[in-house]
Amino acid sequence: MKKLVIAYSGGLDTSYCAVSLSKEFEVHAVSVNTGGFTENEVKNIERNAYKMGVTTYKNIDAVATFYTKVVKYLIFGNVLKNATYPLSVSAERIIQAIEIIEYAKSIDAEYIAHGSTGAGNDQVRFDMIFQTLAPGIKIITPIRDQKLSRQEEIDYLKAEGIDMNWEKSKYSVNKGLWGTSVGGVETLESEKPLPSEAYPSQLEKEGEEKVTLTFKNGEFVALNNQENAPEVNIEKLNEIASNYAIGRDIHVGDTIVGTKGRVGFEAAAALIVVKAHHLLEKHTLTKWQLQHKEYLSSFYGMHLHEGQYLDPVMRDTEAFLQSSQKMVSGNVVVTLKPYHFTLDGIVSKHDLMSSKFSTYGEENKAWSADDAKGFIKIFGNQNKIYQQVNS
């Protein structure tokens, strides 16, 4: 039998793929952990994979890789798609696809499969990366090709003697380091919110709690003065903030395939880190750095969402974002509250507000009243000329 590697999450779609394809191929299931999985959950996924008839199962720990190759730059760029969504799932799909295709190449697999439908973004992200990195490996997508409904998949698995209560949850939940997506019947329409119980974290704490985020050259290096790898700090912050049910929202955006899409998400740590980092940048970067970062960051986030991670322009943009972080160091104090948070302020030796030139709106020590009048007179020349010529 020919070797096939399947991107296996343990959900309904990939389980259907594993069972049906194992009748024709030697199936090697691979899961890529980009955060959100406990050791017991990984073991449970492995047990279920073998129930589906796979020959081997492998779990790849890619949390640090995900941070280093993607999340770091999302923080540097303060990336929130449509000013809302931190690209929780779309960002991790890129790393998952790269890790899976590299594994497929390492075992000389002739085929690779994933459980994407024909209606969403993931099919584009997976296929593009697979085709680019391993054009000789054939891609198989049973759910997309057979146009299967969820119920048809359930009926097939039951007929094969596999009944794992696939209907136990109304919501599709995808956990990761950078947030959790939540899809359900409400997100298929435009007017309904997700109910509170649909989100994975419920309100456990009342009152307020202050946390201090320390950044060094733009990276989140310490939480409450405890140093750790940035990805560990993100996980620890999420544990604290999720008790306040922070980070809930619904993202509405344009899919890669041209339709509008709506998805709920919970991303407490991602939103806090992005907002805290952005505040520190407002204090430490120049006006023109901030302006150019804004549109390049939007470009980076959009192209990552569209699956264009392997285009060299992404490395060019990352180089700019990395360079912009030289002075982005200091502490940011955040107050956590039920369902939201506030940014209190920053302390940094690179704080441009500490300049001896002036205090905004109060006093200046670097120019005279006549200097100011002359500057304003010249600064307004463009408008004056236009009005005189055209009025």
Give the residue among 38, 323, 230, 299 at the shortest CA–CA distance from 46.
38
Using one digit for the tens of pLDDT, what is the confidence trace for 279-294? Answer: 999 999 999 999 999 9
173-347 has the same fold as 3-172: no
Using one digit for the tens of pLDDT, what is the confidence trace for 297-323? Answer: 999 999 999 999 999 999 999 999 999
CA 188 to CA 262: how far, in whole Å? 7
Q: Is the pLDDT of residue 357 over 80?
A: no
Domain boundaries, the chain: 3-172, 173-347, 365-390
Q: What does the buried/exposed string (b/e) look like for 188-198 if buried means 16 or more CB atoms within 10 Å of the residue's CB? A: eeeeeebeeeb
Using one digit for the tens of pLDDT, what is the confidence trace for 206-223? Answer: 999 999 999 999 999 999
For residue 169, name the pLDDT band (cuts at 50, 70, 90).
low
Using one digit for the tens of pLDDT, what is the confidence trace for 330-348? Answer: 999 999 999 999 999 999 9
Q: Work out the percent of the chain whose per-residue pLDDT is above 70.
A: 99
Q: Whose structure tokens read 């205090």?
A: 359
> 181 with 264: CB under 8 angstroms?
yes
pLDDT given for residue 166 in this prediction: 72
Q: Which CATH class is domain 173-347?
A: alpha beta
Higher pLDDT, 356 or 273: 273
Using one digit for the tens of pLDDT, what is the confidence trace for 14-35? Answer: 999 999 999 999 999 999 999 9
pLDDT given for residue 104 in this prediction: 97
Tokens representing 278 are 């952005």
pLDDT given for residue 50 in this prediction: 96
pLDDT given for residue 168 in this prediction: 62
> 262 with 251: CB under 8 angstroms?
yes
Neighbours of 41 (CB within 10 A): 13
Q: Which CATH number fits domain 3-172: 3.40.50.300, 3.40.50.720, 3.30.1330.60, 3.40.50.620?
A: 3.40.50.620
What pTM value is reported for the model?
A: 0.94
The pLDDT of 68-73, averaged and rounded, is 98
